[in-house]
Amino acid sequence: MSHHVTISLTNIDQDVKVSASEMELEEAFFNIMNNGITAMERGGALTITSEIDESKQRVMVNITDKGKGFSKDNISKALAGVLKSEEDGRLAMGLFLAKYRVEQHGGDITIQSKVGKGTTVTVALPCVSS
C-alpha cells in the first residue's frame, strides 16, 4: 500500500538537549511516526512540533496524524503491547516499544485520539542543562 504523506516540522528547538541513546530514541520516534503514517491510508500530513515545559524541565515532542484514530480502550491496549493489527491480526507493538524506550530515558508517552479524526502522541523527555 502506497502512502503519500507530508511530514512537517514546526517549533522545533534545536538547542534542547536530552541525555539519551540516540539509537533508542530514533527507534521510538520511528515507531510512532510509522504508526501515524500507517493510520493515514489515503495519505495526509504528519506534523511534528516541540515545546519546552520550563517548570518541569522537560521537552515535549508532539507527533500528530489525521488517521483512523484510537478508541480509549485501544490506546490502553497499544501502550500495553496487546493491540492486534486489523490487517493481519498480529500484535501491533510499535507504540509499546516506543513507550518502553522513552521510559528507559526517564520520559513518558501520552496519546490523545479521536476515532476517525486522528491521533497526537506526545513524548515528554527530561532536558539536560547546557
Map out the domains of the chain as residue ranges: 5-126
| Residue located via cell numbers 476515532 | 115
Residue 46 DSSP class? E
The confidence score (pLDDT) of residue 3 equals: 63
DSSP code, position 67: S
C-alpha–C-alpha distance, residues 46 and 64, integer Å: 6
- pTM for the model stands at 0.89
What's the DSSP call for residue 11? S
> What type of residue sits at position 20?
A
What is the per-residue pLDDT for 87? 72
What's the CA gap between 110 and 99, in Å, rounded?
Answer: 9
What are the 10-residue block averages of pLDDT along the chain, 130 residues in total?
76 78 94 92 90 89 94 92 79 91 96 96 89
So what's the pLDDT on residue 6? Answer: 87
pLDDT of residue 110: 96
- Contact criterion met (CB below 8 Å) for 52 and 16: yes
What CATH number labels 5-126?
3.30.565.10
- pLDDT, residue 41, reads 84
Looking at residue 60, its pLDDT comes to: 94
Rounded to the nearest 10 degrees, the angle between the axes of helix 72-80 and helix 94-104 is: 60
